[in-house]
Amino acid sequence: MNSRQDSGSNRLDDAARAGWLYYVAGNTQDQIASTLGISRQTAQRLVSLAVSEGLIKVRVDHPIANCLDLAARLKSRFALDLVEVVPSDPASSSTIGVAVAAAAEIERRLRSPTPMVMAIGTGRTLKAAIEQLPPMECPQHKVVSLTGNISPDGSAAF
pLDDT in tens, the chain (158 residues): 444 445 667 899 999 999 999 999 999 999 999 999 999 999 999 999 999 999 988 777 887 888 888 999 999 999 988 888 888 777 777 788 888 888 888 888 888 888 777 777 767 777 778 788 777 776 666 555 555 555 555 555 54
Please name the residues in contact with 48: beta carbons below 8 A apart, sequence gap of 6 or more.
Answer: none
SS3 157: strand
Whether 67 and 122 share a structural domain:
yes
CATH code (residue 32): 1.10.10
Whether 41 and 79 share a structural domain:
no
Q: Is residue 2 part of a domain?
A: no
Alpha-carbon distance values, 15 to 9, 40, 65 (Å): 10, 13, 27
Residues forming beta bridges with residue 157, ordered by sequence position: 149
| Count of structural domains within the chain | 2
Whether 18 and 74 share a structural domain:
no
pLDDT at 151: 54
Whether 71 and 121 share a structural domain:
yes
Q: Is residue 40 part of a domain?
A: yes
pLDDT at 1: 47
Q: Which domain holds residue 15?
A: 8-52
pLDDT at 158: 47
pLDDT at 3: 47
DSSP-based helix, strand, coil % in the chain, nearest 5: 55, 5, 45
pLDDT at 46: 96
Exposure pattern of 28-66 as b/e (b: 16+ CB <10 Å)?
Answer: ebeebbeebebeeebbbbbbebbbeeebbeeeeeeeeee
Whether 120 and 82 share a structural domain:
yes
Whether 46 and 105 share a structural domain:
no
Q: Is residue 21 part of a domain?
A: yes
